Amino acid sequence: MSEVTNQRFAMRAGSLDSGMIAKIALRAAVVIALLVAGGVIALISEKLLSGGGGGVANELRVMPFQDWRVVCQAPANNCTLNSDVFRDTGGTLVSLVIGDPGPGSNMTITVPHGVLLDSGLGFSIANEPMRVRPYEACNNQGCFAFVTLDADTLKSMSGNMQGQVVVQPGNGTPVTINFSLKGFADGFAELQRAKARRTGFFSFLGR
């Protein structure tokens, strides 16, 4: 084969390679564009279905799950899973709040002022042994302690209907306060989905 023929062959091969690379790049660009468009459409649909798009910057969205509720605040869409036990005469006896559904995160339990801090806060699910947690601090809402949401605790809370918080008021007599776990499993699952939406690939589109 002559040198001229070799050169022509090389030129044709180079042209074929360039054309193939261009086609592959074009196809990849189309796929990425479709993915982005799909994400935008899904986000717009979610906002339309939830009534979003023209709301107040700090509006709250509340999703009830029996005795628990997921509360999300715009625009960052930070969500918490909450439940409260109220006095018959008014006021809150116990407030339970979960802000992060990640493994090993904490649930904050807040009780009214006037408890003996040195005694700690008792926490149990159904007939399981009582765990005593130290109080972390007190604020305007009351005094609070943390319960770690390990796998066993989450399983117990999802599979039972009631838990207990035990506090010791100033008179020294322990008081047991029952709280409901109805709806906890569904509420926790929604909190996980909310976190996934907030931290997902297309989360920047909703900010």
Q: In whole angstroms, what is the distance from residue 156 CA to residue 124 CA?
A: 10
Domain ranges of the chain: 3-54, 60-194
User: Across-strand partners of 205?
Assistant: none
CA distances from 34 to 31, 46, 48, 158, 197 (A): 5, 18, 21, 39, 19
Model pTM score: 0.70
What's the pLDDT tens digit per position in 80-93? 999 999 998 889 99
Q: Strand (E) positions, the chain?
A: 60-65, 68-73, 78-86, 92-98, 106-111, 121-125, 131-133, 135-138, 143-148, 162-167, 175-180
Poorest-pLDDT segment among 5-14, 65-74, 177-186: 5-14
Q: Which of 131, 94, 113 is nearest to 169 (CA)?
A: 113
Residue 199 has pLDDT above 60, yes or no: yes
- The pLDDT tens digits for 89-108 are 889 999 999 999 998 999 99
Segment 59-85 shows an average pLDDT of 93
pLDDT at 59: 86
Give per-residue pLDDT as tens, 41-64: 444 445 444 444 445 567 889 999
Model pLDDT, residue 44 = 42
**pLDDT-derived band of residue 2, with 50, 70 and 90 as boundaries?**
low
* pLDDT band with cut points at 50, 70 and 90 for residue 127: very high
pLDDT surpassing 60 at residue 12 = no
CATH of region 60-194: 2.60.40.1880
